A = this chain, B = another copy of it.
Amino acid sequence: MATTASAPARRGPRTRAELLDAAERVVLRDGPAASMNAIAAEAGITKPILYRHFGDKAGLYVALADRHIETLLERLRTALTQSGTRRARTEAAIDAWLRLVEGNPALYRFLIHRGQAEEPQVRDRVAVFQRRLGEALAAGIAAELALPEPQWPRAQAWAHGIVGMVQAASDWWLDEQPFDRAALTRHLADLIDGAYARA
């Protein structure tokens, strides 16, 4: 039916990248509840091929996330190691994150909001991303403060906390938008800077 003479429907192999493109389109359109059938249809193929490529749904989602995670981690590391004041580094790192959030909320929700969850395996593997963010930030903080190794756990606690802070504030801000991105960056940097203690 779908494959009449007028629609040759390519028999050749799809590349992994093409499949991921299709999957991304569907996920960004339907949210993380996107079904494997829908993704396969979007890619112009059927389910078993997806499973041959990615193993299971978790594998597909991880592959999807990996395309963006490295980019973002790199931007954060750049922000964290740039020259200038510590405050500038703080703001640059937060802003790198908020730009992603503002520019593509659907992608953000997919990446960090572990939207799918159903299967524990998916939750765990996607949660890894948040952990990697935290570890990257912990390294940045330890370097920033020149902390000796015994104090690393403290830096880790702070780092994972800060990642969660920016993430939760992003969620709230996406819904409410009471001010622009730059203002949120400032407010969060203020908080990390100890503005609450001084207020």
Contact = CB atoms under 8 A, between A and B. Distances in A.
Interface in A133-169: 134, 141, 145, 153-154, 156-158, 160-169
A169 B157 contact: yes
Interface string A101-142: 000000000000011111110010001001100100000010
Nearest to A32: B117
Interface residues of A, number: 50
Q: How many copies does the complex hold?
A: 2
Contact of A187 (B154, B178, B191, B192): B154
Nearest to A152: B178
Contacts of A10: none
Contacts of A156: 172, 176, 178
A54 interface: no
Interface of A: 31-33, 114-120, 123, 127, 130-131, 134, 141, 145, 153-154, 156-158, 160-169, 171-173, 176, 178-179, 184, 187-188, 191-199
Given A156-B176, A161-B188, A167-B168, 4 more contacts: A127-B171, A162-B191, A164-B168, A194-B195
